[in-house]
């Protein structure tokens, strides 16, 4: 297993939709383990393949919320929401979201409170996972990554403006920026 560098906002690979997985082999299984190892080293809740520069449609999640600990992965995910998130201003206390590809930053982001993700495992067998609250937020966040979206693309109002300023201030307008969990300082201070 190996920890992979995590791409930072501004890299075009983060804005490129993932390609469906068609090869279900030992390489895919190893890659999923690498994603878990990288996510753990980064203290993340989830990690999508394109965040480490891989174009395949796969994400991992590993988080704890009020309903317990949730750990798993989905290959070729499709998401279903009970109702789409509203475009109203998010609650600055309850709707906070961060991202390993936007290190050290977080912004209030509206998300649906329920989500179901379907896809397959590393052997091509069907997988269905359902979540509410934080887990549903994680599913939406990771599927967005695989669609070529960062959570910054979902921001509205003053949060959208603040994010644009932060991107310029951090000079995340050029491709090629990354950080390596376990080597570089934890940008979230966890």
Which parts are annotated binding residues for Fe cation? 99, 141, 145
37 tagged catalytic: no
Residues pairing with 68 in the sheet: 65
Question: Which is catalytic among the residues 37, 97, 105, 142?
Answer: 142
**Token representation of residue 62:** 């590993």
Q: Give the H/E segment covering residue 37.
A: helix 26-41
Phi then psi dihedrals of residue 50, to 5 deg: -70, -15
Residues pairing with 63 in the sheet: 70
Distances (CA, A) of 182 to 14, 33, 152: 22, 16, 25
Q: Give the H/E segment covering residue 78.
A: strand 68-81
| Other CB atoms within 10 Å distance of the CB of residue 18 | 22
* Burial environment of residue 121 by CB neighbours within 10 A (0 to 12, 13 to 18, 19 or more): middle
**Token representation of residue 110:** 């509206």
Catalytic machinery residues: 142
């Amino acid at each position: 297993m190996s920890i992979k560098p995590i791409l930072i906002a501004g890299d075009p690979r983060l804005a490129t939709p993932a390609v469906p997985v068609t090869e279900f082999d030992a390489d895919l299984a190893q890659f999923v383990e690498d994603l878990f190892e990288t996510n753990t080293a980064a203290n993340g809740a989830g990690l999508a393949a394109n965040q480490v520069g891989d174009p395949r449609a796969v994400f991992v999640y590993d988080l704890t919320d009020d309903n317990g600990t949730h750990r798993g992965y989905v290959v070729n995910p499709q998401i279903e929401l009970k109702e789409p998130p509203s475009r109203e201003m998010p609650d600055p206390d309850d709707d906070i979201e961060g991202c390993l590809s936007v290190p050290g930053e977080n912004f209030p982001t509206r998300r649906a409170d329920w989500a179901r993700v379907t896809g397959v495992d590393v052997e091509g067998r069907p997988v269905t996972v359902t979540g509410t609250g934080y887990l549903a937020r994680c599913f939406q966040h990771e599927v967005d990554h695989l669609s070529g979206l960062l959570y910054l693309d979902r921001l509205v109002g003053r949060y959208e403006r603040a994010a644009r300023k932060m991107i310029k201030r951090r000079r995340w307008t050029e491709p090629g920026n990354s950080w390596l969990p376990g080597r570089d300082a934890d940008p979230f201070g966890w």
